[in-house]
Structures are given as structure tokens and as C-alpha cells.
Amino acid sequence: MFTATTTAPVNIACIKYWGKRDTKLILPTNSSLSVTLDQDHLRSTTTSRADPTFTKDRLWLNGVEEEIKPVGRMATCIAEMKRLRKELVEKDSSAPPLSTYFVHIASFNNFPTAAGLASSASGFAALTASLAALYELPSAPTELSLIARQGSGSACRSLLGGFVAWNAGTLDSGLDSHAVQIAPETHWPDIHALICVVSDTKKGTSSTSGMQRTVETSPLLQHRIKHVVPQRMQDISAAILAKDFDRFAEITMADSNQFHAVCLDTSPPIFYMNDVSRAIIAVIEEYNRVGLLPENGGKRKAAYTYDAGPNAVIYAPAAHIKEIISMIVHFFPQQETFNDPFGLFGAAGVT
């Protein structure tokens, strides 16, 4: 019996991925950049097992068996990992021929699935990492990111810690569409992420179908791809390397807002934020307006960002976290407005 267990954390994008130029290989229309949260809070844990007695590949998500569709994303990732194992065995004939055995894979999330909290990102990253461990592959995270990407685009970024860019790439093969680390988690440990769970129910429009509709119908997306994201990728990378939170926050909030504008520019429009999400934006904007006054230091103190769902992620330096939590709890008393069965509200993912 051969078995391996690994975990992979959630990542939260500051420059959003939204749109594919190749839906099979999962090649994006623009580069993106995210922060990988630390392993303690939001993560997927995946165990893979290969055994000559298994009669087919099988998968369990949170204890429930899911079908592995023959030409689906899961099957692609498994096949790609078996191909790498086969290559390894061809070089070293003493290595057991694990790629010829079927695998059983069990994955658990410690947070609500499909609530806009990037479960597919950590899920496919953990799957790829656990098969890499099972097959004892020497591959670097960037190399593995090429495979995780084919499970779910954003998954490629969860294979690396800290601040991670997914370069869109230009090749039709997708071989240059991979994740690279801009800075490790140790570079800027002062940044914290507050996850405000506004709703933990499954979202209405899946990212996969939503972004395709945007590619087909939104003129704003074309402007974003050509004229906005390339400069933002450079600017936010520079802000991260310089630990310039004010600039990091300015770009992160602008990009979240443009991503949701692009959703609204889609036909029919897609709405991911709700009234509570928008009210949190108003609170953070006001907090920053006061912070930007010369007598208060002239800098932004927090940055909100929203993915394909209503939940807010607030990035802030450690010094402001307590104040932000009291402010959010004051304006949004949890019993009344938050359904927080997982106790995630206020959980700081420190990177």
C-alpha cells in the first residue's frame, strides 16, 4: 500500500483571474496575483493511495464519493500525474510502477465549500501535491502548478506560499502559464487577512460558467485585459516588494471593484456581492478616508477584496486588525447579520 497526505491553503486574489482563452487547458485571459493564506485556517487536506488491488480511480470529497468524469478536470490531473510517475519509472526501473495502479483519493476542506472561498483552489492544489508526494516526484511547485491549473485555474497559485503571481503566458501549449512566487510569506508577515463570512451558502453562478459568459459578452473585460491588468501586476508586485501597504491596498480594492464591474458588464449580469458586502466596502472606504487625512498619517489602513461570492476578505497590517474587527462587529452584529457556523469570522490568515 502506497499512501501520501498533504494540505494546501486557500489563496485570495488581489489581481483577479476572470476569463479563459483556452477552456480545456485552463489558460487565462490575464495574469493574476494572490496571497496564500497560512495553513492554520482555511485548507484542504488530501490523501492519495495507490494499490494494485484497486479496480478504478475513486474520489471522496468531505466524505462523500464523487464521480470522476472520464474527460473531466479531475481525470486530467490524475492522468498528468501518472504520466510524470511513468517518466520517473522509465528513468529508474527500481521504482514501483505506481502509475499502473488505480488511486483512491479523499479530500477534506475545513471551511464551507463553494461559498466563494476558493475551495477548488486549495482542493486541486492539495490533490496535485498529494499525488506528487505519493509518486515521489521531484517536481518544483511551479512545475506542479501547470497541472493544478488544469484542475482549476486559481489552484495553480495555492501550490506556493506568500505572494504568488500566475503568469497568463502566451503559448498555446500552456507551458508558460504557471505560478511563481513574488515574495515568500516571511517577507511581509505583518499583513493579516480577515475573512468575513457574509454567507456560507453555495453561490448562484459558478466561476467557470460566469467567466465564460463574461469573455463572450463584456467589452469592459477586453479593456481590463489589455489596458489595466498588465500595469497593475507590475505595480502591486513593486508594492509587495517595498512593503508599501497603502499602494497594495489601493490596487487590491481597485481590482476587486473592476472584477465586479466586469461581472455587471456581463450579459445577463452577474451579481456576487450583496447589501452586506457593499456595506462592508463603505465601512472600509470611510476608515481609509480618515486614515488618509494628513493628521492621521495619510495612508490607507485596510483593503477589502471580494471573489465570486458575497464574503469579504480584508487585508490589513497587524496594528489595525483589532480596530477593524471591533468596527465590523459594531456595524454588523454577528447574531443578526452573519451566519458564521464555522467560526471563521475574525480568523486571521497570516502570511
Specify the amino acid at residue 347: A
Stretch binding ligand 2P0 (CB under 6 A), from 147-155, 190-198, 296-304, 311-319:
147-155
Phi first, then psi: what are they for 269, rounded to 5°?
-65, 150
Q: Hey, which residues between 231 and 260 contact ligand 2P0 (CB under 6 A)?
A: none
- Nearest to ligand 2P0 of 99, 119 (CB atom): 119
The reply to whether 43 sits near ligand 2P0 by the rule CB under 6 A is no
- Nearest to ligand 2P0 of 185, 307 (CB atom): 307
Sign of CA dihedral 7, 120, 155, 49: positive
- Which residue of 10, 17, 144, 193 would you call a contact of ligand 2P0, by CB under 6 A? 17
Q: Give the integer Cα–Cα distance in Å for 34 and 14.
A: 5
**Three-class DSSP category at 57:** coil
Q: Give the integer Cα–Cα distance in Å for 128 and 48.
A: 10
Task: Tell me which residue has its CB nearest to ligand 2P0.
Answer: 153
- Nearest to ligand 2P0 of 179, 249 (CB atom): 179
Question: Cβ-count burial of 213 within 10 angstroms (0-12 exposed, 13-18 middle, 19+ buried)?
Answer: middle
Start-to-end CA distance of the chain, whole Å, equals: 36
Annotate each residue in 21-40 with x if it binds ligand 2P0 (CB under 6 A) or - if it does not, as one string.
-----x-----x--------
Shortest CB 1 distance to ligand 2P0, Å: 32
- Nearest to ligand 2P0 of 77, 137 (CB atom): 77
- Which residue of 144, 307, 310, 314 would you call a contact of ligand 2P0, by CB under 6 A? 307
> Count residues contacting ligand 2P0 (CB under 6 A)?
15
- Nearest to ligand 2P0 of 141, 309 (CB atom): 309
Shortest CB 55 distance to ligand 2P0, Å: 29
Shortest CB 68 distance to ligand 2P0, Å: 16
Which of 154, 115, 153 minimizes the C-alpha distance to 309? Answer: 115
The strand order across the sheet containing 11-15 reads: 11-15, 32-36, 162-166, 179-183
Annotate each residue in 184-223 with x if it binds ligand 2P0 (CB under 6 A) or - if it does not, as one string.
-----------------------xx---------------
Sign of CA dihedral 143, 215, 285, 296: positive
- Which residue of 16, 21, 104, 178 would you call a contact of ligand 2P0, by CB under 6 A? 16
Residues β-bridged to residue 314: 194, 304
- Nearest to ligand 2P0 of 50, 195 (CB atom): 195
**Three-class DSSP category at 341:** coil
Q: What's the grid cell of residue 184? A: 515568500
Q: Give the integer Cα–Cα distance in Å for 19 and 216.
A: 9
- The secondary element (H helix, E strand) that includes residue 218 is none
Which residues are near ligand 2P0 by CB under 6 A? 13, 16-18, 26, 32, 120-121, 152-154, 207-208, 307-308
